[in-house]
Amino acid sequence: MENLQLKTFAEYKKAYKKSVKHPETFWDEIADTFTWHKKWDKTLEWDFSKPEVKWFQGGKLNITENCLDRHLEKLGNKTAIIWEPNDPDEESRYISYRQLFVKVSHFANVLKNNGIKKGDKVCLYMPMIPELAIAMLACARIGAVHSIVFAGFSSAAIARRINDSECKMLITANEVYRGSKKVNLKEICDKALEETPSIESVIVYRRTVEPTPMKEGRDKFWFDELQKAEKECPAEVMDAEDMLFILYTSGSTGKPKGMVHTVGGYMVGTTYTFQNVFQLQKNDVYWCTADIGWITGHSYIIYGPLASGATTVMFEGVPSYPDYGRFWEICEKLNVTHFYTAPTAIRALAKQSLEFVEKHDLSSLKVLGSVGEPINEEAWHWYNDNIGKGNCPVVDTWWQTETGAIMISPLAGITPTRPTFATLPLPGVQPALMDDNGEEITNLNEKAEGRLAIKFPWPSIARTIYGDHERYKEVYFSTYENKYFTGDGSYRDASGNYRITGRVDDIVIVSGHNLGTATIENAIDEHEGVVESAVVGFPHDVKGNALYAYVILYDNVEPSEELRKEIRELVSDTVGPIAKPDKIQFVNNLPKTRSGKIMRRILRKIASNDTSNLGDTSTLLNPEVVEEIKEKALV
Ligand code: WT7
């Protein structure tokens, strides 16, 4: 598993230079270490103006052969997945590479028996149980495209995603444990299924013994289907550029974007970055606390670690159950060496008594990771001092659903770290810091601030938005000519280290979850008493950002607490509980430009209680509403 690792800072610098000077040779050599049925004819073909990116064209492979089959000989008995249940009294599950291989092949035949073929889309709405990993790999085994929907999303959100990519099958579980709560996933699915004509069958894994209503002819239990299926399943030979999965992420319009990742480049990108960023050794135990419903789970719980032959931990529960020591208890119990989590979790845990940490022996830890949002100075130090005891390098990894793999990050123990900085681009990544005039700030020896773009393709870049290539072009490739625009602001120090400062568009990262404000506004506007709304983010000490909604009501509707509750429920039902606004202010009007656009900049400042300088309001059609809103602000 250490075969792709750079070992020193000098090696990193050398690899970086090579990746810029000779990107094709650089990636050829890395891709060569994988198992292919046929070698590629062309390493890279790209044109950001179309935009089009193709890696390893003509190459034939199956990613599951790289995650499973190729390890069997040497690592067959090694633990691939350690599953840690929500309830600490329930037993952990250890699944070896060989067992995982058998389970994936077996379940792949269940998919086939239910009419799933190469290219078909399968929606997964599942708890954090090994069967989620098995189902996703089974899809990849037969060339079906998985579309995993985070099991905290609402029925309406599932239906929207299923319909967008016309999934033929839905895989779910009857119920899920989440801390002290139990959530009935099947019920949520049943509601979604009322409006998803493309779904032909539903496979239900029984996580609990509760009776589960099943629809005759459509719904089938996981175990019943396994009984009927063969155990062996040869891997479908895929083209490097065939679709591996679709994963939805929020956009600035109401509609989620189905990011499309392809087999070859994604495999090479996630595996290379996994090995280099985390620097795992042979018997290490790696734990990423993300949910597989997000890209972090796809790339760094499943594909990157398994392709590397690592032992990866999957945790079903939450950090606060049965108490706030749960993460540390698991680290101690499983001898976790690499721990990868989000700043929002770090901040929430840092708020608790240190006893929760000190009760546990954390001496197995070697490397700590952070992902999902900017990590503030205080959280960085708390993590470094109390969890890492000053001995574990902290890797602050910047990347996105769209990038598929980590882009800017230290290599653990190799790159000098700097608190709150994601530091340097990984080999193969060419960032461009853009100024207000849309020009690249090229001097790496002078500190600068701007917007972050990338000027050269990397293997795991998303190839398109499913069914909407125009939107893909518009969102990512139209801001700067010939560059991918990330949507993030960034600062760069005089040594070339990057600190990501946050989103510069209408996306807000709440507790590490990427939310489009337009989606939430659409949900609020569905309320019969609401004329219009505007949602913005404001700083929050645990969540990073929280949501503030400004809502205009119809004349005959009285503002009330009850109404606030209804609006929050509506958002929860349409998007999911994570999108509920923290604050709702009823207003008579919203500040709008002459062209009718809401001036969110001002609303953001009011929500953040930062109104000393609201900037230029001269282009407003109705400047008087600003005072009115400010006076009644909920700050
Ligand atoms: C956005 C992407 C990719 C993993 C999970 C999130 C923010 C991500 C960092 C970091 C500062 C970060 C950015 C990015 N972000 N990692 N280390 N430091 N910001 O994936 O849901 O697609 O969100 O998360 O704003 O654009 P995502």
pLDDT value of residue 389: 98
Residue 621 has pLDDT above 90, yes or no: no
Q: Tell me: the pLDDT tens digits for 140-193?
A: 999 999 999 999 999 999 999 999 999 999 999 999 999 999 999 999 999 999
pTM value is: 0.94
Q: Looking at ligand 1, which atom is closest to the CA of residue 512?
A: 6
Gap from CA of 371 to ligand 1 centroid (Å): 6
Q: Tell me: the pLDDT tens digits for 320-366?
A: 999 999 999 999 999 999 999 999 999 999 999 999 999 999 999 99
Gap from CA of 578 to ligand 1 centroid (Å): 17
Ligand 1: list residues with CB < 6 Å.
Answer: 249, 294-296, 370-374, 396-401, 422, 486-488, 500, 502-503, 509, 514
230-247: average pLDDT: 98
Q: Looking at ligand 1, which atom is closest to the CA of residue 486?
A: 26
pLDDT value of residue 613: 85
Q: Going by CA atoms, what residue is nearest to atom 1 of ligand 1? A: 400
Gap from CA of 487 to ligand 1 centroid (Å): 10
Give the sign of the dihedral formed by CA 626, CA 632, CA 633, CA 635.
positive
Q: Tell me: the pLDDT tens digits for 305-329?
A: 999 999 999 999 999 999 999 999 9
Band of residue 596 on the pLDDT scale cut at 50, 70, 90: confident
Q: What is the dihedral of CA 23, 28, 34, 40, to 10 degrees?
A: 120
Residue 447 has pLDDT above 70, yes or no: yes
Q: Going by CA atoms, what residue is nearest to atom 17 of ligand 1? A: 398
Alpha-carbon distance values, 9 to 25, 337, 384 (Å): 21, 22, 21
540-546: average pLDDT: 95
Q: Which residue has the tokens 């189905």?
A: 258
Gap from CA of 548 to ligand 1 centroid (Å): 21
All domains in the chain, ordered by first residue:
9-318+397-489 (3.40.50.12780), 511-631 (3.30.300.30)
Alpha-carbon distance values, 370 to 293, 600, 617, 627 (Å): 18, 29, 38, 40
Residue 385 has pLDDT above 60, yes or no: yes
**What percentage of the chain reaches a pLDDT higher than 70?**
100
497-511: average pLDDT: 94
Helix (H, G, I), strand (E, B) or coil at 250: coil
Q: Which of 344, 399, 415 to probe ligand 1 with, by most ligand atoms within 8 A of CB?
A: 399
Residue 595 has pLDDT above 80, yes or no: no
pLDDT value of residue 417: 97
Q: Going by CA atoms, what residue is nearest to atom 23 of ligand 1? A: 400
Gap from CA of 373 to ligand 1 centroid (Å): 5
Q: Going by CA atoms, what residue is nearest to atom 8 of ligand 1? A: 372
Triad 234, 125, 326: Cα angle to 5°: 105
Helix (H, G, I), strand (E, B) or coil at 359: coil
Alpha-carbon distance values, 214 to 185, 190, 211, 219 (Å): 13, 9, 9, 6
Q: Which residue has the tokens 């208890």?
A: 329
Q: DSSP secondary-structure letter at 495?
A: T
Alpha-carbon distance 16 to 10, whole Å? 10
Q: Looking at ligand 1, which atom is closest to the CA of residue 487?
A: 26
The residues that bridge with 484 in the sheet, in sequence order, are 454
Q: Going by CA atoms, what residue is nearest to atom 3 of ligand 1? A: 400
Q: Looking at ligand 1, which atom is closest to the CA of residue 409?
A: 17
Helix (H, G, I), strand (E, B) or coil at 272: helix
Q: Going by CA atoms, what residue is nearest to atom 7 of ligand 1? A: 373
Q: Which of 371, 421, 491 to probe ligand 1 with, by most ligand atoms within 8 A of CB?
A: 371
The residues that bridge with 593 in the sheet, in sequence order, are 620
Gap from CA of 250 to ligand 1 centroid (Å): 12
pLDDT value of residue 614: 85
The residues that bridge with 611 in the sheet, in sequence order, are none
pLDDT value of residue 617: 79
Band of residue 2 on the pLDDT scale cut at 50, 70, 90: low
Q: Tell me: the pLDDT tens digits for 86-126?
A: 999 999 999 999 999 999 999 999 999 999 999 999 999 99
Q: Going by CA atoms, what residue is nearest to atom 11 of ligand 1? A: 374
Q: Tell me: the pLDDT tens digits for 388-440?
A: 999 999 999 999 999 999 999 999 999 999 999 999 999 999 999 999 999 99
Gap from CA of 512 to ligand 1 centroid (Å): 8
Gap from CA of 624 to ligand 1 centroid (Å): 37
Q: Going by CA atoms, what residue is nearest to atom 6 of ligand 1? A: 372
Report which of 466, 481, 492, 482 is spatially closest to residue 402, judged by C-alpha positions. 466
Residue 551 has pLDDT above 70, yes or no: yes
Mean pLDDT of the chain, nearest integer: 96
Is residue 267 within a helix (H) or strand (E), and if so which, with residue range? helix 263-278
Q: Going by CA atoms, what residue is nearest to atom 10 of ligand 1? A: 398
Band of residue 252 on the pLDDT scale cut at 50, 70, 90: confident
Query: What phi and psi values does residue 501 have, to the nearest 5 degrees?
Result: -100, -15
Residue 245 has pLDDT above 70, yes or no: yes
Q: Which of 509, 510, 511, 543 to probe ligand 1 with, by most ligand atoms within 8 A of CB?
A: 509
Report which of 434, 483, 477 is spatially closest to residue 454, judged by C-alpha positions. 483
Q: Which of 259, 341, 491, 500 to probe ligand 1 with, by most ligand atoms within 8 A of CB?
A: 500
Q: Tell me: the pLDDT tens digits for 185-226?
A: 999 999 999 999 999 999 999 999 999 999 999 999 999 999
| Bridging pattern class, strands 513-516 and 367-371 | unpaired
A 10 A CB-CB count for 436 gives 8
Gap from CA of 505 to ligand 1 centroid (Å): 13
Gap from CA of 395 to ligand 1 centroid (Å): 14
Helix (H, G, I), strand (E, B) or coil at 513: strand
Q: Which of 340, 402, 488 to probe ligand 1 with, by most ligand atoms within 8 A of CB?
A: 488
Gap from CA of 15 to ligand 1 centroid (Å): 25
pLDDT value of residue 167: 98
Gap from CA of 168 to ligand 1 centroid (Å): 31
pLDDT value of residue 618: 77
pLDDT value of residue 253: 78
Q: Going by CA atoms, what residue is nearest to atom 19 of ligand 1? A: 373
Angle between helices 97-113 and 130-142 (to 10 degrees): 60
Gap from CA of 496 to ligand 1 centroid (Å): 20
CA 496 to chain centre: 26
Q: Looking at ligand 1, which atom is closest to the CA of residue 507?
A: 25
